[in-house]
Chains A and B, each alone.
Chain A
């Protein structure tokens, strides 16, 4: 499965949003309604799914679905 689809799965599970809302441009907070703790849960979900560690500093920069896909790509 490509990275985008895997990221989408985590987002749908952690944020409880419809899959069709999860577009590359979608912003977690503004478009997908994530609150501060949900963004932490999302980052944790991505860490678990991809076996990577995302620092607090890096996490601050991951604000859209595409940014998450790109970040994971850079770590693999």
Chain B
């Protein structure tokens, strides 16, 4: 059965924090940040905005674009690294707010790889007959957990949310393969504590309730794993780098994306990058980039997409997707029935 994305919606908070704003808060410069990361500004959640409220806004955007999109949703998966609470899940909170109370819902914790993991999960549920129409969300308020004293990391992150409907699509479209992985050996390179006062490999005095990061280690890992996992996903799908119309990477750092792209052999003009305006929004970054590329008419019906992501864990996730943009993108009941 072919399963793909049929609808998208996104949200970014109103408040924009520029590099010039950061110059007033930290010992840093716009030039330093742009040359090391490519980031110029990021959106920051208001005091009363959290992953669930931003996820709701993304779902509302999706409904505005596709009014019938929530009809028949029978599973909600929310990928987030900054959930409102350990429980209730952010997915359940969002479901309750958008008229889906009672629908199965849970959060998926896989840091920045989460959106692609959630797509794989949704695909699996649908293929196994557990669900038919899954609402996949990536929602983050990283600004509330980054260490604003650490000029090496706080400049990187931003807040945002994305929502997608994953369901049956006509044959020839949809997800063709996934390549997923995780290795806790790299855990100390990027972490955020929760209940335990220890994480293997992290020194006790570095266990503040804030995001901890070793930039050099993450950079090395990311550059290698983006290329390797992307190649694995392509190979599984019987594709080559030359078949990719659009590489849609997790938007962490343009230097990572460039280095990975070069190793991979995909030309710059085939890569979707919008991190200059959002920073690293973790699980929201791929939907935010994809939505912009679709809206701009860059990603079109039948285009071959490749998602690649990496994050805390350390984790990684790549996925090949033949983009379904037919009939205004939304497959209504009839088309879904035919291919099911």
- Among residues of B, the one whose C-beta sits closest to the C-beta of A39 is B216
A7 to B81, CA, bound (A): 41
A43 contacts across to B, CB distance below 8 A:
220
Report the minimum CB–CB distance from A25 to chain B (whole Å).
25
**CB of B217 within 8 A of chain A?**
yes
Establish whether residues B36 and A40, one from each chain, have CB atoms under 8 Å apart when the complex forms.
no
> Interface on chain B toward A: helix, strand, loop, or mixed SS?
helix
**CB of A36 within 8 A of chain B?**
yes
Establish whether residues A35 and B35, one from each chain, have CB atoms under 8 Å apart when the complex forms.
yes
- Among residues of A, the one whose C-beta sits closest to the C-beta of B255 is A37
**CB of A30 within 8 A of chain B?**
no
Query: B223: which of A36, A44, A56, A59 is its contact (CB, 8 Å)?
Result: A44
Establish whether residues A37 and B217, one from each chain, have CB atoms under 8 Å apart when the complex forms.
no
**CB of A9 within 8 A of chain B?**
no
A37 to B35, CA, bound (A): 10
**CB of B219 within 8 A of chain A?**
yes
Interface size class of A (residues with CB under 8 A): under 10
Report the minimum CB–CB distance from B155 to chain A (whole Å).
13
A37 contacts across to B, CB distance below 8 A:
36, 219, 255
A55 to B216, CA, bound (A): 11
Instruction: Mark interface residues in A10-52 (1 if CB within 8 Å of B CB, else 0).
Output: 0000000000000000000000000111001101100000000
**CB of B259 within 8 A of chain A?**
yes
- Among residues of B, the one whose C-beta sits closest to the C-beta of A43 is B220
Most chain B beta carbons < 10 A, residue from A37, A43, A44, A56 = A37
Query: B36: which of A35, A41, A44, A59 is its contact (CB, 8 Å)?
Result: A35
A35 contacts across to B, CB distance below 8 A:
35-36
Establish whether residues A40 and B35, one from each chain, have CB atoms under 8 Å apart when the complex forms.
no
